[in-house]
Structure 1
Amino acid sequence: MRQSKAFDIAILSILIATMIVIQVLSTIVYSVWPMPISPTIAGIPVIIASVVLGPKRGAIVGFAMGLILFIQATITPGVTNWLFTPFIPIPGTNHGSGWALIVTFVPRILIGVFPYYAYKLFKNRFGAGLAGFIGSITNTILVLGFIFLFFGSLLKWSFAYLITAIIATNSLVEAAAAVILTAAIVPALMKMRGK
């Protein structure tokens, strides 16, 4: 039991560290990236934590992801940062919005919860891939859905625009990466964990 708990803490720490590295590197790479696609892959460690360590620890890693994004949006310049932190004024105003905290934290925490239950349906490589897909679309649908709900009128988003944004190229690349990496990594970690 003690060995299993130590292994879980080690995996949790590695996944959080990996997520930080991915976020920092992708910020640097995407600042000079010539392609119109800039997929968010920092959620993959959250998905893996959910499946391997369970929804509570997955939610912790998801909260850490939200916190990283919150800090990044608060301290680095960006046109849309006001969507992710209340400390950046909404364009045309001198104040931010508390709804930005919902946009930033809730989807990331739920990336750490939903994949666990998707994996439980099959408990094999297919289930791991399904968990990757569920985690990825959870992030896409909730982030864009909350932006539409709280800031859609300000951004002049229509419902049709929201649907188009959800099924845009970024989300397809993100889902494919999540499926492939989760299906590849989860079985190895489960084997190491003795599950």
Structure 2
Amino acid sequence: MKKSKASDVAILSIFIAIMVVVQLLSQIIYSVWPLPIVPTLLHIPVIIGSIVLGVRKGAFLGLVMGLISVINSTIVTLPSSFMFSPLQPVPGTNHGSIWALVIAIVPRVLVGILPALVYRLAQNRFGAGLAAFVGTATNTLLVLSFIFLFFHDVTKQTFGALLASIITGNSIAEVIIAVILTMAIVPALSKARGNS
């Protein structure tokens, strides 16, 4: 039992390290990226961790993802930073919004919970792919919906524009990448954990 807990903590630490590296590499690569599609990749370790480690540890990884988003948006000022960091002023004001924490953290915690629950329905490659789809869709739908809900006055976004932004090249690319990687990694990682 102690060995299993130590193993889970080690794997959890590895997932967090992977998330930090993915974030840093994404910042570097996307600064010179020539294509208009810039998919988010940080949710993939959360999804895989959720499936392999379970709901509680998945939720923790989701929380870490949310905190990385808050820290990044606080340090790197972009036009959208105020949506993810309460320390970035909302345009037209001299203060941030607490709703930024909701946008940055709540969807990401759910990305760490829902894939584990979906994977329980079918513990195979198909289940892993479905879990990745649900996790990615959860991130995209909730983040964009919360932005629409909490910052509608600032973004001046219509409901039609919200739907269009949900169905974009970025969203499609994120789903495809997440499904492929999750279907490839989860069975191998699950097998390795079962043999250890």
Indicate the TM-score class for this superposition, using the shorter chain for normalisation.
over 0.9
Distance of 1:11 and 1:176 partners within structure 2 = 25
1:174 Cα deviation after fit:
0.3
Match of 1:78 in 2: 78
What stretches of structure 1 of length at least 5 have no aligned partner?
none
What is the letter of the counterpart of residue 150 of structure 1?
A: F
Q: Normalising by structure 1, what TM-score?
A: 0.97
1:77 Cα deviation after fit:
2.1
Identical positions, percent: 57
1:25 Cα deviation after fit:
0.6
Distance of 2:169 and 2:128 partners within structure 1 = 22
Match of 1:6 in 2: 6
Deviations 1:88-137 (A, max 9, x none): 11111111111000000001111000001111111001101111111101
1:12 Cα deviation after fit:
0.7
Distance of 1:4 and 1:192 partners within structure 2 = 13
Match of 2:128 in 1: 128
Q: How does 1:20-169 map to 2 (within 5 A)?
A: 20-169=20-169
What is the letter of the counterpart of residue 48 of structure 2?
A: I
Distance of 2:112 and 2:6 partners within structure 1 = 20
1:165 Cα deviation after fit:
0.6
Aligned length: 195
- Report the more deviating stretch, 148-157 or 138-147: 148-157
What is the letter of the counterpart of residue 18 of structure 2?
A: T
Match of 1:193 in 2: 193
Distance of 1:170 and 1:6 partners within structure 2 = 37
Distance of 2:24 and 2:107 partners within structure 1 = 20
Match of 2:182 in 1: 182
2:91–2:154 contact (8 Å) kept in structure 1:
no
Distance of 1:160 and 1:34 partners within structure 2 = 28
Moved over 2 A (4+): none
Distance of 1:92 and 1:6 partners within structure 2 = 49
Give the aligned CA root-mean-square deviation in angstroms.
Answer: 1.0
- Report the more deviating stretch, 97-106 or 2-11: 2-11
Aligned with 1:14: secondary structure? helix
Distance of 2:76 and 2:95 partners within structure 1 = 17
What stretches of structure 2 of length at least 5 have no aligned partner?
none
Distance of 2:188 and 2:46 partners within structure 1 = 16
What is the letter of the counterpart of residue 180 of structure 1?
A: I
Distance of 1:155 and 1:71 partners within structure 2 = 22
Aligned with 1:147: secondary structure? helix
Distance of 2:122 and 2:15 partners within structure 1 = 23
Distance of 1:36 and 1:70 partners within structure 2 = 24
Distance of 1:39 and 1:72 partners within structure 2 = 16
Aligned with 2:10: secondary structure? helix
Aligned with 1:87: secondary structure? coil
